[in-house]
Amino acid sequence: MAYPNAPEAAPRAGTRSNGLAIASLVCGIVGLLVFAIILGPLAIIFGGVGLSRAKAGAGHRGMAIAGMVLGIIDVVVFAILLAAASKHGGSMYVHFG
């Protein structure tokens, strides 16, 4: 049933959402804490696709760039930890002194 004096719905904004940019940022942040080898490359890929969508007018360009940077940091930190572990025979225990 329609109401005769009901206001009309407001028109939707013209910006489109960029879910891959958001996914890139989330993967980059979570990758700093756990599963860096999986989430780091995903953040880079999602960020690249999100950045191309942002150039096409989808928005969230900054999130896509931040996700890519965090993904690169994830991979670099994982490589450093892997190198440190292999230097110490696979153990991350470091004795100071």
Residue 71's nearest CA partner among 16, 21, 10 is 21
Q: How confident is the model at residue 18 (pLDDT cuts 50, 70, 90)?
A: confident
Residue 77's nearest CA partner among 89, 88, 85 is 85
Q: Which residue range forms the structural domain that includes residue 48? A: 19-87
C-alpha–C-alpha distance, residues 76 and 43, integer Å: 13
Residue 6 domain-assigned?
A: no
Residue 66 domain-assigned?
A: yes
Q: How confident is the model at residue 60 (pLDDT cuts 50, 70, 90)?
A: confident
Domain count, the chain: 1
pTM of the predicted structure, to 2 decimals: 0.73
Residue 80 domain-assigned?
A: yes
Asked if 84 and 92 count as a contact pair (C-beta separation under 8 A), the reply is: yes
Exposure string for 56-69, b = 16+ CB within 10 A, e = fewer:
eebbbeebbbbbbb
Weakest-pLDDT range from 3-12, 17-26, 35-44, 81-90: 3-12
Look at residue 58 and give its three-state secondary structure. coil
